[in-house]
Amino acid sequence: MQFDAELLLLAMAPVFLACIGWEAWHLRRTCPGEPIYSWRDTFCNAALALMQQAADKLAWLAIIPVYAFFYEHYRVYTWQASWVSFVVLFVAQDLLYYVFHRCSHRVRWLWAAHVVHHSSERLNFSTAFRQSLMYPIAGMWLFWIPLAVLGFAPKQIVAIVLINLGFQFFVHTQAIGKLGWLEYVFNTPSIHRVHHARNDRYIDRNYAGVLVIWDRLFGSYVDENPHDVPVYGIVEPLHTYNPLKATFHEWASMAADFASVRGWRNKWRALFAPPAWAADYHARRAAGSASLTADLSASTSEQSSVNANHTAAFQTTRRP
Ligand SMILES: [Zn+2]
Ligand SMILES: [Zn+2]
C-alpha cells in the first residue's frame, strides 16, 4: 500500500462531514418531527472521535512493534503485493473484526470500551465517530495479531483496520432504506440500525464490520422489521453529553465491583464475565440481598441467553 494508512480517516474527513451535512438537511425535510440530530449529541460524538484518534496515534507506536515481532518471527507465509493478498487480508480482518465485536458484547472488560459506541439514543452518521479512547487498554489490537502471523506487515494491518472502520461510517444512518441484494453480502444501514437498537428482537445481533456473511454463518443475523422500529441506545440511558463520563463510566463501575465483591473468583467475573453478571450483582446490592457472599456463578448461567446478556449489559451502564 502506497499511502500513509494512519492518515486515511483524516483524509476522508471532508467526505464524512459532507455526509453528515446532507443527512441532517435530508432528514429535516423528510422527517421534520423527528429530532435525529442534536448539537450536543453531535459535539459529544466529535469530541469522542478526537480523543480516540489521539489515543490511537499513541497506541500504534507501541502496538506496531508487537505486530512486527510476530511478522518477523512467526509468520507462516510471505505474500507478494497483489489483489489476491489484499482480498485475503480484507476478508481475514473482517472475520477477526466480527470476533472482536461479538466478544465486545460478551466480555465486560471489552464492553467497558465498546459501550461508548452504543450509549447515544440517536443514530446518525455522527454516531460512527462515537468511539472509546480505551480500546487500546481493552486490547482491541490483540485481535489483529493473527494477521501478522498470516504474513501481513504491520503497516498493512493498520491500513486494513482503518479501511474497515472507514467503511463502517456509512452504515450509521436512518436516511437510507434497504439495499436489495447487498443486504446478503455487506453490512448496510438497515443491518447496522438493528445492531444499535435495544428492542428485544434486535439486541445482540448483527456484529458485521463490512461483510454480513459472518452474522449469517454464525447465527447472529436478524432482519430489520418494518413493524418493529429500532429504538436506539442503551436500556437505561446515560443522561450525559460529557465525553469523559461516556468514556469512563463502565470502567468506574467495573473497578467498584472488583473492589467490593468478595472472593477472587467473583473478582475475576467482575472483569471478564458477560456483563449480565454485573447487572445481577448490582440488582442484588440494590435489593440489599444477603447473598452477595454466595457464589455468583449462578447469575451468569441463569442469564446465558444472548439477548438477556446484552439487555443486562445495558442495565449495568444505567446504574445510578
Ligand atoms: Zn456493538
Ligand atoms: Zn455502530
pLDDT digits (tens, 9 = 90+) for 63-80: 999 999 999 999 999 998
The answer to which of 5-19, 94-108, 160-174, 242-256 has the lowest mean pLDDT is 5-19
pLDDT digits (tens, 9 = 90+) for 262-313: 999 999 999 999 888 888 888 888 888 645 555 555 544 444 333 333 433 3
* Predicted local distance difference test score (pLDDT) of residue 2: 46
DSSP annotation of 211 reads: B
| Contact by Cβ (8 Å): 269, 277 | yes
Band of residue 37 on the pLDDT scale cut at 50, 70, 90: confident
The number of the ligand nearest the C-alpha atom of 114 reads: 1
CA of residue 2 to ligand 1 center, whole Å: 31
* Predicted local distance difference test score (pLDDT) of residue 163: 94
Q: To the nearest whole percent, how much of the chain has pLDDT over 70?
A: 88
* Predicted local distance difference test score (pLDDT) of residue 95: 98
Count how many Cα atoms sit within 13 Å of the Cα of residue 233 in the half-sphere of its side chain.
15
CA of residue 124 to ligand 1 center, whole Å: 15
Q: Which three cell numbers stand for residue 144?
A: 489483529
Task: In whole angstroms, give the CA distance from residue 11 to residue 18.
Answer: 13
CA of residue 155 to ligand 2 center, whole Å: 25
CA of residue 128 to ligand 2 center, whole Å: 6
CA of residue 127 to ligand 2 center, whole Å: 7
* Predicted local distance difference test score (pLDDT) of residue 311: 38
Residue 81 main-chain phi, psi, to 5 deg = -65, 120
- Per-residue pLDDT, averaged over 251-262, amounts to 95
If you average pLDDT over every residue of the chain, what do you get?
87
CA of residue 189 to ligand 2 center, whole Å: 9
The number of the ligand nearest the C-alpha atom of 230 reads: 2
* Predicted local distance difference test score (pLDDT) of residue 111: 96
Q: To the nearest whole percent, how much of the chain has pLDDT over 90?
A: 72
CA of residue 220 to ligand 1 center, whole Å: 12
Is the pLDDT reported for residue 1 higher than 50?
no
CA of residue 304 to ligand 2 center, whole Å: 24
| Contact by Cβ (8 Å): 124, 23 | yes
The answer to which of 25-29, 128-132, 153-157, 292-296 has the lowest mean pLDDT is 292-296
Task: In whole angstroms, give the CA distance from residue 157 to residue 163.
Answer: 10
CA of residue 212 to ligand 2 center, whole Å: 14
The answer to which of 88-92, 148-152, 283-287 has the lowest mean pLDDT is 283-287
CA of residue 34 to ligand 1 center, whole Å: 24
The answer to which of 23-27, 105-109, 208-212, 300-304 has the lowest mean pLDDT is 300-304
Task: In whole angstroms, give the CA distance from residue 55 to residue 57.
Answer: 5
Domain coordinates of the chain in residue numbers? 5-218, 243-317
* Predicted local distance difference test score (pLDDT) of residue 35: 78
* Predicted local distance difference test score (pLDDT) of residue 183: 96
CA of residue 192 to ligand 2 center, whole Å: 6
Task: In whole angstroms, give the CA distance from residue 91 to residue 101.
Answer: 15
pLDDT digits (tens, 9 = 90+) for 195-232: 999 999 998 999 999 999 999 999 999 999 999 999 99
Is the pLDDT reported for residue 119 higher than 80?
yes
CA of residue 196 to ligand 1 center, whole Å: 7
CA of residue 316 to ligand 1 center, whole Å: 16
The number of the ligand nearest the C-alpha atom of 126 reads: 2
